[in-house]
Amino acid sequence: MFDCIIVGAGPAGGSAAYHLAKRGRSVLVLDRDALPRYKACSGGVSPAISQWFEFDFSPVIEEKVTQIRYTWKVGDPVEASLDTPEPMWMVQRDKFDHYLIQQAQQVGAEVRDQTAVQGIEFKGDHWQVNTVNGPVAAKYLIAADGAKGPMAQWLGFSAHQSRMGAVMEIPTTTGPQAQFDFGLIKNGFIWSLPKGDRYSIGTGTFRGGEENLSKALTEYAKKRGFDASQAQIHEHPMSMWDGDSQLHGRNALLAGEAAGLSDPFTAEGIRPAIFSGMKAAESIDAALSGDVNALSGYSATLQAEWGKDMAWAQKLSKIFYRAPGLGYKVGVKRPSATSKLLKIMCGELRYADVAGYALKKLSGGLIRG
């Protein structure tokens, strides 16, 4: 009988396991894949996550981005320097996720990979988790099995908004510059990020109908002059924040993409996943100590400390991607706007600090148009 079983060994699961085991709780992490495993992700990580851990992430940081280049259909460039105390981190998710899990193991968490979960049953005062390798039991569960995982549905939660994303991995080195292109897809943008021995070109849609993302990535790579003959394209769902929702159930919590926490304007997912894992651990630790309101407090905390800001991000997303050409002209090309967006992506600013002015500028342009 464990204190907590965590399903999923990504950033949310690893963060929850680390913080819960560090508090002396017995923790079991289950993952269906063999670790380390590839994850379709461009790998941009806010350095703000370092404040939540007592170890150094430098062994798994492939690049630190200091230069940003924005383009409109690969032209009309805007160059910017990242004016933050710490540059944006670029990671390879197989290494990054496994490193976080290893830190959790060092403080006492048990990890079982290649252990797919087949179902769950509540047994009066604990959960039985049925796996391909037999049943295991715990007083509490954390569902951190991502946008495609079944845990949220099995626990009775409503499905979160899901949009499609895609990542093209190109084996090449490019230097510490990140690039963001607007206009090649109607309802989103394309980002390209250096990750050591590879370059990740990613895209996603944020409103309206879905598009042929693989075709858009191939076209973009060709326009940039990349040799995509050895590239691999991986399509995947992105579980976006679409309004405050209950993230706690009977002796169970949702974390990461299973909770639908990705940024609806930029698709940032690693920082909210790690934040939710940390807060889930705090709540379950409190529940194990007898706090009957601990799990409901988790939902309230995520709404107050993440959801409130994501409401602004969602408003920006709906207006910006409705008329991205205007957004590029009155937003991205303004030096002050570019600086603020970069600080948001690095965790130095919140959307609430800038969204009111940005919405006014974008709405004014739409009215005049």
Residues 287 and 174 in one domain: no
Mean pLDDT (whole number) for 53-60: 97
Q: Based on the domain organization, do 209 and 358 belong to the same domain? A: no
Distance CA 16, CA 274 (A): 8
Q: Examine residue 194 and state whether it is found in any structural domain, yes or no.
A: yes
Q: What is the pLDDT of residue 364?
A: 62
Whether 259 is covered by a domain: the verdict is yes
Domain span holding position 174:
162-238
Within a domain: 71: no
Indicate if 279 and 305 belong to the same structural domain: yes
CATH of the domain at 154: 3.50.50.60
24 neighbors 110 (Cβ within 8 angstroms): no
SS3 50: helix
Element (H, E) at 308: helix 308-320
57 and 153 in a single domain? The answer is yes
b/e per residue, 53-84, with b = 16+ CB within 10 A? beeebeebbbbebeebebbbebeeebebebeb
Same domain, 340 and 353: yes
Structure token pair of residue 14: 């690893």
Give pTM, 2 decimals.
0.95
Q: Are residues 154 and 190 part of one domain?
A: no
Residues 51 and 127 in one domain: yes
**Burial class of 127 by CB neighbour count within 10 A (0 to 12, 13 to 18, 19+):** buried
Residues 57 and 103 occupy one common structural domain: yes
The pLDDT tens digits of the residues spanning 274-321 come to 999 999 999 999 999 999 999 999 999 999 999 999 999 999 998 899
In a domain, 72, yes or no: no
Could you report the per-residue pLDDT of 88-120, keeping only the tens digit for each? 999 999 999 999 999 999 999 999 999 999 999
User: Are 278 and 142 in a shared domain?
Assistant: yes
Give the separation between CA 104 and CA 108, rounded to whole angstroms.
7
- Say if residues 91 and 105 touch (Cβ distance below 8 Å): no
Q: Give yes or no for a contact between 262 and 202, defined as CB atoms under 8 angstroms apart.
A: no
Whole-number average pLDDT of the chain? 92
Q: Answer yes or no: are the C-beta atoms of 4 and 142 closer than 8 Å.
A: yes
User: From start to end of 14-103, where are the E strands?
Assistant: 27-30, 44-45, 63-65, 67-72, 75-81, 88-90
Per-residue model confidence as pLDDT tens digits over 149-180: 999 999 999 888 788 899 999 987 777 789 99
Examine the pLDDT at 337 and tell me if it is beyond 90. no
- Does 99 share its domain with 30? yes
Within-domain flag for 20: yes
Contact by Cβ (8 Å): 258, 147: yes
Cβ atoms within 10 Å of 193's Cβ, excluding its own: 26
Integer CA distances (angstroms), 125 to 138, 281, 305, in order: 9, 19, 30
Structural domains counted in the chain: 3
In residues, how long is the chain? 369
303 within domain boundaries = yes
Q: Residue 258: pLDDT above 60?
A: yes
Q: 262 and 246 in one domain? A: yes
The residue among 213, 238, 263 that closes a domain is: 238
Identity of the residue numbered 320:
F
Single out the residue in 238, 255, 283 at which a domain terminates: 238
pLDDT at 367: 43
| DSSP for 143-192, written as a single string | E---TT-SHHHHTTPPPPPEEEEEEEEE-----SEEEEEESSSTTEEEEE
From the number of C-beta atoms within 10 Å of its C-beta (0-12, 13-18, 19+), residue 249 rates as middle
Q: Check which CATH number belongs to the domain holding 223 and give it.
A: 3.30.9.10
Q: Which residue's entry shows tokens 């940081």?
A: 61
- Does any domain span residue 182? yes
Domain end, chosen from 238, 273, 296, is at 238
**In 3D, which of 22, 3, 6 has the Cα closest to residue 14?**
6
Question: Residue 128 CB: number of other CB atoms within 10 A?
Answer: 14
75 found inside a domain: no
Q: Are residues 284 and 250 in the same domain?
A: yes
